[in-house]
Structure 1
Amino acid sequence: MIIRQAEIQKFGKLEKEQYRFSPQINIIYGPNESGKSTLMQFLKAMMYGLEKSRVRKTLDTYKKYEPWDAPAYFAGSIVFETGEQQFLLERNFYYKEKSTRLVNIRDGEELSVECGDLDMLLGNVSAGAYENTFCIGQEQSVPGRELGVLLEDERSNLAQTGSGDFSLSKALQNLEQKRKSKEKQKKELEQQRLTDIRQLEVKQQMMEADIAALKAQQEKQGTRKQNVQEQVKQLKQAAEPVLSEYRTVCRREQELQKVVRQVQLNTGRKHLKKEKEQRQQQKSEHRAGFSPLLLLGVAGLILAPILRASLDGFQKIAPILNVICIAFILAGLILAYGRQKKVQEAETEAAEEDAGVAYGDEEVYQKAAKQLASFQQKKSALEQQIETFQEQKKALQMQEARQEGSGDQIIGQIQEKEVEAANLTEQLQELQFQTAQEKVADQDIQALALAADTMQRLASGMSKTLEHVLNREMSEILSQITGNVHGQLQVSEEQGIVLSEHQKSRAPEAYSQGTKQQAYFAYRMAAGKLLAKEEALPFLLDEAFAGYDTERLRQTLRWLARQENQIFLFTCREMEAEVLREEGIPFSEIHM
C-alpha cells in the first residue's frame, strides 16, 4: 500500500493542508510542535478511523485533535494505491456527521467500507496489530501486550489450520462470550423459574384464600338456607291454626247460609200458603154471606105481589107466604151471621198463628244473618291473613330458590378453584426442578468450557515452527541494525522477548536505552511482517530513532531502504536525512 497524497481540512493544528508522498522513504522534518505527530495521527486515522471516547474526562485521540472552533470540518482524504489500483478515501471524523467514502479512481466505483472493502485493501490487519508493529509513536518503542496476543493467534493459525483465517484469542474470546451468554441465559432462566414459582405461590395463596372465602360463603349460604327453611316451617306452623279456623268459619258460613236460605224458603212457602188460604177464605167469606133461605125469602117477597095479582086465590094465602118469606129471610140472616162469625174467628186464629210463626222465623233469620255477617267478616280477615302467609311463603320460597341457585354456583366455583389449585400445585412441583432449557444451557456451558480447554491445550502443545521463524526474523533484523553485536532475540512466554548471549537470557530493559529500543524495533518489524502478509503497509515512525547512535541509525536506515513498505520518518533532527544522503538512498523530504 502506497499513500500518494493527503489533504487535511481540519485535524488538530493542521488546517487546509495538502501533502504528496514518495513511494519509498519520506522524511517529515520540523521543529517541535510543528505538526509532525499530528500528520502521523492523521494518516493512521485515515486508514483505521477515529472514535470518540464515551468517558468525558478522558483525553483520547479524538478530543486531542478535534478542532474546537469548527468541529464540522474535522475531516480529510488520502489517495493511495495497492495492486496497481488507485483509491480515494475520504473521512469525516466529526462524531455527529461521521462518514467514510472509498472510491476506485480508475472506474469511479464506490466501494463499501461497512462491508469490509477497506479492511481487505489493508490486508485485514487490525488497528491494534498496526499500532503495535509498523506504527511507532514518540516514546512508544515498547509494544503493548496486545502484540503478544496477536502473535499467539498467528502461531495458532499456522499450527492448527495452516492459514491466517483462525484467531485463537478471538476464538477463545468468542467461546468465553458464548459461555457468559449461556450462563446469563441460564441465570435468566433460573430467575424466570424462581419468578414463576413466586408468582405461582402468590396465585396459589390467592386461590386458597378464594376457596376459603367461597367455603365460608357456602357455609353462610347453608346457614341462611336453614334459616329460610326454619322460617318456612314456622310460617306453616303459624298458618295452620289460621287455616283450620278458616275452614271452620267456611263450614259455619255454609251452615248459616243454609239456615238463611231455609228460612227464606220457608218464608216464601208460608207466603204462598197464606195467599192460597186468603183466596180460599175469600171464597168462604163469600159463601158465608150467602144463604138459600135468605134468597128464598127475598124471592118470595118479590114474587108475592105478582102472584097475588095473577092468582085470585092467592090473596088468601099471601100473608102467610109473606110471614114465611120473612121467616126465611130472618133465618137466612141468622144463618149467614153465624157463618160469618165462624169465618172471622178462623181468620183471627190463622192470623195469630201466622204472626207467631212469622215472629219465630224472623228471629231465626236475624240471628242467622247476624252470625253470617260476623263469620263473613272473620272469613275476610282470615283470608287476608292467609294471603299474607302465602305472600310470605312465596317470598321465602323464592329466597330459598335463589339461595339454592347461588349455592350451586358457589359449589361450581369451588370445584373450578380446586382444579386450578391442583394445577398450580402440579406446576410448582415441576418448577422445583431444572427446565429443559436450563439443562440445555448447562450442557452448552459445559461444552463451551470443554471446547475452550481443549483449544488451549492444543494451542499450548502446538508446533514451534512459527516461533522459530519469528525468532529468526527478529534476530536477523537486530543483527543487521546493531552490526552483529546482538544476534539472538527470542520470544519468551514469561518475559515477552529476551536477548540471549553467552547462554544467558536477559530482557531488553537490562540493556541501554538504545539497545532496548532496537530490540523492540526488531520485534515490531518481525511481528509486522508475520501479521501483515497480504499487504505491505506503510511504516509510520515518529522519533523512533531518538536513542540510536549514528552507526546504528545508518544500519537501520539501510535495512528500511531494502523493505518494500513505504516509509514515513517523522523527526525534528536532520541526522536521518544526512545519513540517507551519505548512503545514496533516495528519499522525499517534507518540511513542516
Structure 2
Amino acid sequence: MSVYIKKLHIISFGQFENTSIDFTSGFNLIYGKNESGKSTIASFIEGILYGFDDGVRVRHFNKKQEIYRPINSYKYAGIAIFNKDGTDYRISRNFKNGEYEIYNLYTKEVVEAKASNLNYPGEFLLELPYEIYQNIISNYQAQESSDKARAKVVELIRNKDDYNFSASDAINILDNKLAEIGTNRAYTKPYAKTKAEIEEISSEILDLKSLRNETNKDFAKLYKNRDDIKNKSEKLKELKNARDAYRENVAYKNLEDEIKYKNELNYVDSELKKYEDLKIKENSTSDKKTENLSGKDLHKHYAFYILGSLLLIFLWRYFKQNYLLAIAIILPIMMIAIDKKDSNLSDDADKKYNDQRYIEYLKLINEREKILEILRVLENQDKTKDRSNIKQIQKLDIKDTELKIKRLENDLEELRKNNIYLERKLASAENQLNNEVDLVDKLNILEKNLKEMEKEIKAINLAKETIIELSKSTDADKKEFDRAISDLISTITKDKYSQISYDSELNPSIITNTGESLSIDKLSTGFYDQVNFALKFMINENKLDNFIIFDDAFINYDLDRLRLALFFLLDLANDRQIIYLTCHNREEEVLKNENIEFNKIDLEEI
C-alpha cells in the first residue's frame, strides 16, 4: 500500500468545525444523510491535497472555495495525516490563500515545496496531477470527465509505468528537440553554431599560443637587456668616477698638461732635426762675420790698403823696381776683389736668413722656448701638489676613457630604446594573452556542450527507436485491458453485455451478448455508471497504489449490481484504502450480511 489517509482534522471547513475523523488502511464506510457533509469531506481531502486551483498553476477564483467557506468562523483551514510508504506526513492547509505545509513526522522536518504550486502536496504524495485525482481517485455519481482529464486517463491506460506519456506526443517532442538542436547545415541552430564557435576559438587559441612563444622570447630579450643595462651602467659609473676624479684633481690636471707639453716638446725637437744644416751654417757664418770688420773698421781696412799701395809706389819711385809698381797697382785690386767676395758671401747668408725654411726653423726655435717656459711653470706649480698617486694617473688614458664612456652611453641608449619597444610590445601581447584563460574555459564549455548535444542527439534517436518498438505492443496491451474490463462488465451485468472496448479518445464501444453494437447515447444511466466504474476499477487495480474515494458512486445500481460492485471494492481494499461515502443503508446491510469487517464513520455521531 503506497498512500492512505490516517486522520483528518477539520479546523473549519463548510459545516464542519474542529472535527477529527480517523481512518483505517482498508475499507472505510462513511455514512450520512443528505446534506450531512459527505461531499464536504471528499472536497476537504481534495482541498488539502490540491487546494482550490483546479489544477491550474495560476491562482484564481474557484467556486468550491466559496462553497465551503465557513460562515461562522474567520478560520478556513484543516490538517490531514497521510502515510506514504510507511512514513507519516502532516499536511496543513490555509484555504483562504492556499498556503500549505508538508511536515515529515518521522524526520521532524518540513518538506521543501514551491509555494506558488498549490497542487504540490497531492503531486508529492500521490505523484498524480489534479486531473487524474479528480477522475480516477475521487469518484462521484454520474461523474463526467473533461477533455483534458480524459486525455490524461487515456495516457494512463496506454502506458504501464507513466500515466503522463504518449508515444505519438513523445515522438513529436523528440523531433522538435532534434530540430531545436539542429544539424551541421542548420547554421542558426545551437549544434552548428557551437561547432563554428569552437573552430573560431580554437584558431584564436592557436594564435595566442604562437604569440605566447614569441612573448617568451621577448621576455628573455628584455631580461638580458636589463642585465646588460645593469652591467654597462656599473661600468659606465666606474669610468665616469675615474674621469671625474681625474678632472677634479689639480695634480691630474698638471700632469695632463705636463704630458701634453712634453709631447709637444718632443715633436718640436723631432722637427728641428730637419734643420740641422741651418744650425751648422748659422754658426760658421756668425764666425766669419765676427772676423769681418764693422763699417768703421772697414774704412780703416781700406785706408790700410791705400797706404800700403802708396808705400809701394813710393818705393817704386825710389828703387825703380817695376814689380813694386805692379804690386802697388794689383794689391788694391786684389783686396777689393777679396772684400767683394766677402761681401758676396755675406749677402748669400743674409738671403738664407730670409728663406722660408729658415723662417720655419726660427718658429720652431721660438715654439720650443715657449714650451720650455710652460714646463718650468708647471714644474714650479706641481711642487705644491700631492703626487702620491702619480703612478695611477700615469696609467689612466683619459682619451681612451672618454671614448669608452661615449660608447657605453650609446649602447645604453640603444638598449633602453629596445627595452621600451619590448615592454610596449609585451604589454600589448599581455592584454591579448589575458583572454587566453577565458577562451580556453569557453572552449571547454563549448566542447562539453557539443558532446552533450551529440549525446542528446544519440539518446533522442535511440529513444525514438525504442518508443517505436514499444508502440508496436500497444495494441496487444489495449486488447488485454479491454478484455479485463469486458469480463468485469459481463460479471456486473450478468452477461448482458459481453464485450467493451475504448477508442483512442476513451469513448466506449459496447457489444451485447447478441452481438449488437451500442453507441454511448443508447446506454442507460445505470449502465454508464457501471462502465465508468469498470474503467476506473481496472485502472486503479493495475496502474495505481493510492486510496480511492467513492461518493454515492453506485446510487443508480440495483441491489445485485451494488453487491457485486462492493465485492470488487472489498477485493481492491486488500491492496489499497477505500473510502466509501453514502446516504443509504444498503452498503452496510450487504457488508453485515456477508460478515465483512469494515470501519464505519457515522457523520451523525461526530
TM-score (norm 1): 0.47
TM-score (norm 2): 0.46
